[in-house]
Amino acid sequence: MAEVFKDPRKRAYLNPEGADRPLKSPVPHGTLKTARSYRLGRIRTELKRHDCAAILLYDPVNIRYALDVSNMQLWMTHNPSHYAMICADGPAIDFEYRGSEHVANGIETIDQVRPAISWFYFSSGSRLAERVEAWADEIADVLREHGGGNRRLAVDKLEPMGVDALRRRGITLIEGQELTEHARCIKNDAELDLMGWTVRVCEAAMARMYERSEAGRTEQEIWAEMHFENIRSGGEWVETRLLAAGPRTNPWFQECSDYVCQEGDILSFDTDLIGPYGYCADLSRSWPIGHVRMSNTQGQLYAAAREQIDRNLSILRAGMSFREFNEKSWRIPDKYRSRRYSVALHGVGLADEWPSVPLHPDFAKAYDGRFEENMVVCVESLIGEDGGRECVKLETQVVITADGAKRLDSFPWEEF
């Protein structure tokens, strides 16, 4: 039996009142109200910058950002029965799933609540064309009433029949995801406070996972600990199922299974957690099952991953272009190239968001941009060899300041 090296630092991230109790948010409601006002203002600023009269939102995350209303978000991603329309110089209208209009009660960002007209095939069947026309008439009426003659409407996501119906009414459609992504990318202090609490919940969840990373448990059993802590502490969902152990870590992107973890297996995971207030904590860690000492090979993988994270954190600063970051970033050794991660870093807010900056071998495909103060990004590393047994996955979440990158998470790295 290998000697156990259980890290007491991680236990400190459980609820100090006891592991059987959920965490309770200390964030005042006034902070949430401040964040709501700021976010809606960011959307309207982008509308005016792009000379759009309004934006029509179907993506539940964009609706949450603009209005802070949440209604069956995962279901709505594939059953579009909830949408919103934000006017540049007019009302913010929440079109709620019929019968659930009350979920918008008391949210000060919302000026009007109307029942949504659902026209995807499941809901409308043979009456699809009829419902599309009724829906398009209402959108056109709002634009006519509050657009001041401007017929430019930004749209984030829309089915083809809706696009055609709005264009028949003389509406010019503008790519709306550019507007929402650039609105979302800069956080104020209130947003950072809300996100900080999601990170705290996520770290408590990781502490639960660490405690239960024992031989004989399945990947799914360990992954369930994160869901449990997130949900009971006011979180919402997890976007992926990226947890694997031992040989299932290489190659990466195998979702958790009924694989029974063996002592000494590396456990690697990516939280992709949507926590309290709808914010994302996107953190990755790797550690040995059974809390035993890493093998020499595992230690080498882990050391390389830490080197990548530390180097890329050290160079980040406000005003740096993506190209300059790439030129100064950590160079992945050839033996790890084939198992490299898809990005060096990416933005994060209510979910993953703009920008996405690839690693140096892939930078020719990158787009231009510049890091700005109060962007939040996740710095990533995936280290493994083609034909090797395991991969190590690490990721940390940081806010970019004038003085560099400030980490929002503090869950301990492994000692090796």
Asked whether residue 11 is assigned to any structural domain, the reply reads no
H/E run at residue 33 = helix 29-49
pLDDT of residue 17: 79
Asked whether residue 179 is assigned to any structural domain, the reply reads yes
| pLDDT class of 121 with cuts at 50, 70, 90 | confident
Based on the fold, state whether residues 169 and 196 are members of the same structural domain.
no
CA gap 238, 231 in Å, rounded: 10
Based on the fold, state whether residues 178 and 200 are members of the same structural domain.
no
pLDDT of residue 16: 84
Asked whether residue 14 is assigned to any structural domain, the reply reads no
Based on the fold, state whether residues 261 and 403 are members of the same structural domain.
yes
Based on the fold, state whether residues 351 and 363 are members of the same structural domain.
yes
Number of domains within the chain: 2
Based on the fold, state whether residues 196 and 337 are members of the same structural domain.
yes
Based on the fold, state whether residues 180 and 190 are members of the same structural domain.
no
| pLDDT class of 149 with cuts at 50, 70, 90 | very high
Based on the fold, state whether residues 226 and 278 are members of the same structural domain.
yes
Instruction: Name which of 375, 411, 347, 9 is nearest 201 in CA terms.
Output: 411
| pLDDT class of 1 with cuts at 50, 70, 90 | low
Half-sphere CA count of 14, side-chain side, radius 13 A: 18
Q: In the 8-state DSSP scheme, what is residue 359?
A: -
* CATH number of the domain encompassing residue 119: 3.40.350.10
pLDDT of residue 333: 97
**Cα-Cα-Cα-Cα dihedral of 152, 135, 161, 111, to 10°?**
50
Asked whether residue 237 is assigned to any structural domain, the reply reads yes
Listed residues 129, 152, 184: the one ending a domain: 184
Average pLDDT over residues 234-253: 97
CA gap 66, 57 in Å, rounded: 9
Asked whether residue 315 is assigned to any structural domain, the reply reads yes
pLDDT digits (tens, 9 = 90+) for 170-192: 999 999 999 999 999 999 999 99
Based on the fold, state whether residues 169 and 203 are members of the same structural domain.
no
Q: Residue 374: is its pLDDT beyond 80?
A: yes
* CATH number of the domain encompassing residue 332: 3.90.230.10
Based on the fold, state whether residues 160 and 299 are members of the same structural domain.
no
Asked whether residue 412 is assigned to any structural domain, the reply reads no
Tokens read off for 241: 């199922």
Pairing of the two strands 352-357 and 345-348:
antiparallel
Residue type for position 379: V
Among 2-16, 44-58, 122-136, 194-208, the range scoring the smallest mean pLDDT is: 2-16
Q: Residue 147: is its pLDDT beyond 60?
A: yes
Pairing of the two strands 345-348 and 83-87:
unpaired
Listed residues 133, 157, 184: the one ending a domain: 184
Average pLDDT over residues 12-29: 87
Among 104-118, 121-135, 200-214, 328-342, the range scoring the smallest mean pLDDT is: 121-135
CB within 8 Å of 15: residues ≥ 6 apart? 21, 22, 23, 204
Buried b (16+ CB within 10 A) or exposed e, 279-306: bbbbbbbbbbbbbbbbeeebeebbebbb
Asked whether residue 56 is assigned to any structural domain, the reply reads yes
Pairing of the two strands 352-357 and 376-384:
unpaired
Identify the burial level of 157 via C-beta atoms within 10 angstroms of its C-beta, where 0-12 means exposed, 13-18 middle and 19 or more buried. Answer: middle
pLDDT digits (tens, 9 = 90+) for 302-361: 999 999 999 999 999 999 999 999 999 999 999 999 999 999 999 999 999 999 999 999
Cis peptide leading into 16, omega within 30 of 0? no
Based on the fold, state whether residues 317 and 401 are members of the same structural domain.
yes
**pTM of structure:** 0.95
pLDDT of residue 30: 96
Based on the fold, state whether residues 172 and 241 are members of the same structural domain.
no
Q: Is 154 helix (H, G, I), strand (E, B) or coil?
A: strand
Based on the fold, state whether residues 150 and 191 are members of the same structural domain.
no
Asked whether residue 46 is assigned to any structural domain, the reply reads yes
pLDDT of residue 19: 67
Range of the structural domain that residue 42 is part of: 29-184
Residue type for position 162: G
- Give one DSSP letter per residue of 184-240, joined into a string: HTB--HHHHHHHHHHHHHHHHHHHHHHHT--TT-BHHHHHHHHHHHHHHTT--EES-
Listed residues 136, 160, 184: the one ending a domain: 184
CA gap 87, 143 in Å, rounded: 8
Average pLDDT over residues 377-400: 98
